[in-house]
Amino acid sequence: MLVKNYIIKRLLLGLMVLFGVILITFFLTRVIPSNPAAQWVGPRATPEQIQQATVELGLDKPIYIQFIKYFKDLLSGNLGYSLRSKQPVINELKTYLPPTLELIFMSTILAVVIGIPLGVNAAKKKDKALDHFCRFFSVGAVSLPTFWVALFLQLIFYRWLDLLPLGGQLDTRIKMLYEIPDYTGFLFLDSLLSGNWVVIKDVFSHMILPAVTIALYPIGLVARMTRSALLEILSEDYIKAARSYGLKERLVLWRYALKNSLGTTVTVLALSIGYTLVNTFLVEAIFSWPGIGSYIATAVVALDYPAIMGVTLFSAFSYILLNLTADIIIALDPRVRV
């Protein structure tokens, strides 16, 4: 019961934060000196065209009325029209979101598959060579600038070794030769479902570099967190007891100790996904990945405020959702439950 109340409380709080974000971003994008109507009609518009666009976009009305209209539209799922492409922002998000989600999904898997074993083994071999390597790797992974890593990987794997493609999500030639069905909108999933190995290979090879680049930060974080959480638990009495029963060390480590440390790791992981989302903004631009990051990068430069707001709202929403998930995971832990 208590958990339920807690979750409801967090949900309401999340909604309030979301409203705050809408309010702030709306007014911020309006305070920035720019003329959306002039942008809407393009660089060489006549005054009549601009005047017409001002009315068309409702910019002649007082700002609070504009906000009420924006909010109303928002509730019905309408995020307005991009000033650059004149397309509904919601449609653009639908186009650009799946590639980004795929990337985040892949990098999260990498973080779990690489980060956790790394952390466990570092804890096991505390102060040995492996532990030092893990520390070195994690600190490096967290602190190296993402854009540098991205360019460096491109130079090695595309330019020098010629193993992986430079960027994009799919080789255009492959796309022209093979029919790729659109079941889900997620290219990787669709290619898997199509069962066409050439396409699967190509899509996968395009994903490796950006996914690894983005995964570095969560890998480092997860490894460090797993290690420190494990070390703490390994000094607990029940572990000593387990060991004194003569249980195999592997069993103690991976089954009893790791399970208890996972709460922290998962929380950190959930929060780092939020960071990953922001990180993709930079990485996507470098890898020409047709995702939300490339989209916002161009939108910001062009001051395309409906698009900026759309992405900001999405990011805020994801952050709140991830925080909520982390909170719930903690709340479900019987040790935390009061």
Partner 1 sequence: MEVFRLMKRKLSLLLVFILLTGVLAGCGGGDVSDDPSPQDEVEIAYYAYNSEPILNWDPSVMFSNGIIVLNNIYETLLRFDPKTKEFDYLLAEDYSVSEDGLTWTFNLREGVKFHDGTEMTAEDVKFSIDRTMELGKGASYIWAAVSEIVAVDDYTVEFKLSYPSPLDLVASSPYAAFIMSKDAVENAEENWFENANEAGSGPYMLESAAMGDEVIMTTFEDYWNGWEGDHFDKVIIKKTSETSSRRQMIEKGDADITQSLPSEDVEALKETDGVEIVVEPSFTNLIGFFNTEKQPLDNPKVRQALSYAFPYQDVVDYAVGGYAKQSIGVIPFGHWGHSDDLFQYTKDLDKAKELLDEAGIQDGELKLLLTYMSGDESEKKSAELYKAELSKIGVELEIRAMPWETQWEMAMNEDPAERQDIFIMYWWPDTSSPYSWLYSLYHSEEEILFNMSYYSNEEFDTIIDNAAEISGTDIEKAEEEFIKAQEILIEDSPSIFMYDKEEVWAINSTFKGFEYNPSYPLVVFFYDTYRSK
**Shortest Cβ distance from residue 52 to partner 1 (Å)?**
8
**Shortest Cβ distance from residue 15 to partner 1 (Å)?**
32
Among 14, 115, 165, 306, binds partner 1 (CB under 8 A): 165
Query: How far is residue 252's CA from residue 248's CA, in Å, rounded to a whole number?
Result: 6
Query: How far is residue 46's CA from residue 112's CA, in Å, rounded to a whole number?
Result: 56
**Shortest Cβ distance from residue 7 to partner 1 (Å)?**
31
Contacts of 237 (CB under 8 A, 6+ apart): none
Among 177, 241, 332, 336, binds partner 1 (CB under 8 A): 177
Q: Which is nearer to partner 1, 45 or 74 (CB)?
A: 45
Show contacts of 72-76: CB within 8 Å, 24+ apart: 74/22, 74/313
Nearest Cα to 186, choosing from 318, 94, 284, 270?
94
| 322 neighbors 273 (Cβ within 8 angstroms) | yes
46 lines the binding site for partner 1 (CB under 8 A): yes
**Shortest Cβ distance from residue 35 to partner 1 (Å)?**
4
First to last CA, the chain: 11
Among 70, 133, 186, 204, binds partner 1 (CB under 8 A): 204
Among 174, 231, 321, 330, binds partner 1 (CB under 8 A): 174
Query: How far is residue 297's CA from residue 283's CA, in Å, rounded to a whole number?
Result: 11
| 230 neighbors 123 (Cβ within 8 angstroms) | yes
163 lines the binding site for partner 1 (CB under 8 A): yes
164 lines the binding site for partner 1 (CB under 8 A): yes
**Shortest Cβ distance from residue 12 to partner 1 (Å)?**
37
Element (H, E) at 184: none
**Which residues, 95 to 134, sit near partner 1 by CB under 8 A?**
95, 113
**Shortest Cβ distance from residue 333 to partner 1 (Å)?**
23
Among 19, 58, 87, 278, binds partner 1 (CB under 8 A): 87
- What is the number of H-type helices and E-type strands within the chain? 16, 0
Nearest Cα to 321, choosing from 90, 13, 37?
13
Task: Give the count of residues interacting with partner 1 (CB under 8 A).
Answer: 58
159 lines the binding site for partner 1 (CB under 8 A): yes
Per-residue b or e along 53-80, where b marks 16 or more CB atoms closer than 10 Å to that residue's CB: bbeebeeeeeeeebeeebeeebeeeebb
Alpha-carbon separation of residue 86 from 81, 99, 109, 257, 306 (angstroms): 5, 22, 36, 55, 10
166 lines the binding site for partner 1 (CB under 8 A): yes
DSSP 130-176: HHHHHHHHHHHHHHS-HHHHHHHHHIIIIIIS--S-SSSSS-HHHHH
8 lines the binding site for partner 1 (CB under 8 A): no
Site string for partner 1, 280-309 (x = CB under 8 A): -----xx-x-x---xx-xx--x-x------
Q: Which is nearer to partner 1, 27 or 71 (CB)?
A: 27
Among 124, 206, 224, 227, binds partner 1 (CB under 8 A): 206
228 lines the binding site for partner 1 (CB under 8 A): no
Among 13, 17, 208, 321, binds partner 1 (CB under 8 A): 208
Which of the ranges 67-75, 78-86, 225-233, 322-330 carries the binding residues for partner 1, by CB under 8 A?
78-86
At residue 88, the 3 state secondary structure works out as: strand
The neighbour count for residue 16, using CB atoms within 10 Å, is 11
Q: Which is nearer to partner 1, 274 or 290 (CB)?
A: 290
The residues of the shown chain that bind partner 1, judged by CB under 8 A, are 32-35, 38-39, 41-44, 46-47, 49, 84-87, 92, 95, 113, 151, 154, 158-159, 162-168, 171-177, 197-198, 200-202, 204-208, 285-286, 288, 290, 294-295, 297-298, 301, 303
